[in-house]
Amino acid sequence: MNKAMPTPAASATEAAQGSNGGPNSAANPALNSAPREASAVTANVAASASATARASRPVARAATVDGLGLPVTLLEITPQQAGTQTLLRGLAILEAAAAGVRDLRSFGAALGTTRSTTHRLVSSLVQARYLRQVQGGYLLGPKLIELGTIALEQMPLTAVARAHLESLAGQTLDTIHLGVRDGDDVLYIDKIPGTRGLEMRSRVGHRMPLASTGIGKAMMLDLAPDAWQSLFDASRRALAGVSFKPDNRPDAPTFLQRMTNYAAGGYTFDLEENEAAIRCVAAPVRDASGAIVAALSVASTIPYMPLERMDELIPVVQREARAISEELGWRAPRPATRRIKR
């Protein structure tokens, strides 16, 4: 059931008495070389696949390595499907490496392959830069970083939101952030720098504790007070070694009271709680189910973000957040109608 995106219930001044938000990457030319390198991987390991295909015994193993449930079950194949099996094995190795597997023996256990076959597969992935060899084993390689950057640019959320972020940037001249939740953190997936000559530490790919940022708190609005407290505690632990001068972070009771006000109003503030002299106004983005899947924010320094202007920005930020939500399939719930007794 769709959840409403409510209107402001408290002003910036009230919130302060009783609460910033993060980035851009260019398309990587490595995308054009990916098909050639992928072909090289297949060609270099074709011998191992062909040898397996010639064997009449079907292969079907569900791998578990040191308790890791890896999705590398291999289907029965025919000689014509040898290339497909090679591709699946290569992908299984990458998934195993992402799960923490480091050595050839563990890779072999995951795939159910001999040491020589495993070595050929891993060597091909190293050659194509999908893996890199380090002391003690293998790690994911730089090619995956390149492809991950491209995947981020092609992420539907960023594509849908971009025009609205640009519109918000044009209206406010301030720094605009788009973020998603990643565990106890907010992960910044897009940023448009402001035009006032100010620079913030936020960047695409940067993480910050949810409860310490306006954009993070916007993704907490639907949670229960117990979850607010838990994320507040997690934020304090994560930032225990960071010096705040001046320290404008609220104590737990103040934080919880502010979150109650924010939840009623459908917005959040950052009142210099994450970065000195930086304030922001944020609002949640919802999907077709009504769940909060992201948030966007407008951030600037105190001279450009007095409490009065923060109040004025609430409906502006909410309007763009609603527009993105609608493109993701969200629809504002219809107001309930009361049946009149006759």
Are 173 and 292 contained in the same domain?
Answer: yes
Count of beta carbons in the 10 Å neighbourhood of residue 100? 10
- Per the structure, the count of domains in the chain is 2
Residue type, 103: D
Closest CA to 295 of 205, 211, 136, 179: 179
pLDDT at 101: 93
Domain closes at, from 148, 165, 187: 148
- Domain residue limits at 240: 12-26+150-327
Q: Note whether residue 336 is domain-resident.
A: no
Q: Note whether residue 202 is domain-resident.
A: yes
Are 99 and 136 contained in the same domain?
Answer: yes
Instruction: Let me know: does 40 contact 294? Beta carbons within 8 Å.
Output: no
Count of beta carbons in the 10 Å neighbourhood of residue 142? 12
- Cis peptide upstream of residue 225 (ω within 30 degrees of 0): no
Q: How far apart are CA 143 and CA 90, in angstroms?
A: 14
Say which DSSP state 189 is in: E
pTM: 0.56
pLDDT, tens only, 40-50: 444 444 444 44
Residue type, 38: A
Q: Note whether residue 73 is domain-resident.
A: yes
Q: Note whether residue 291 is domain-resident.
A: yes
pLDDT above 50: residue 120: yes
Are 284 and 198 contained in the same domain?
Answer: yes
Are 172 and 143 contained in the same domain?
Answer: no
Are 105 and 190 contained in the same domain?
Answer: no
Looking up tokens 């397996």, which residue turns up? Answer: 52
Q: Note whether residue 2 is domain-resident.
A: no
Are 209 and 298 contained in the same domain?
Answer: yes
Instruction: Calculate mean pLDDT across residues 122-126.
Output: 95
pLDDT, tens only, 86-113: 899 999 999 999 989 999 999 999 888 9
Are 209 and 63 contained in the same domain?
Answer: no
Angle between helices 115-127 and 46-54 (to 10 degrees): 150
Q: Note whether residue 339 is domain-resident.
A: no
Are 125 and 191 contained in the same domain?
Answer: no
Are 131 and 45 contained in the same domain?
Answer: yes
**44 token code pair:** 């270099």
Are 19 and 61 contained in the same domain?
Answer: no
Domain closes at, from 92, 119, 148: 148
Instruction: Let me know: does 128 contact 80? Beta carbons within 8 Å.
Output: no
CATH of the domain at 17: 3.30.450.40
CA dihedral 286, 289, 290, 295 (to 10 degrees): -20
Instruction: Let me know: does 215 contact 292? Beta carbons within 8 Å.
Output: no
Closest CA to 170 of 148, 147, 193: 193
CATH of the domain at 60: 1.10.10.10
Q: Note whether residue 215 is domain-resident.
A: yes
Instruction: Let me know: does 21 contact 261? Beta carbons within 8 Å.
Output: no
Are 204 and 317 contained in the same domain?
Answer: yes
Q: Note whether residue 93 is domain-resident.
A: yes
Instruction: Calculate mean pLDDT across residues 248-254.
Output: 88
Greater confidence, 196 or 186?
186
Greater confidence, 316 or 56?
316
Alpha-carbon distances, residue 63 vs 6, 59, 60, 107, 121 (angstroms): 48, 12, 10, 10, 17
CA Rg value for the chain: 25
Domain closes at, from 117, 148, 179: 148
Are 53 and 72 contained in the same domain?
Answer: yes
Contacts 24+ apart (CB under 8 A), 130-136: 130/41, 130/90, 130/94, 131/93, 131/94, 131/97, 136/102, 136/103
CA dihedral 285, 287, 293, 298 (to 10 degrees): -10
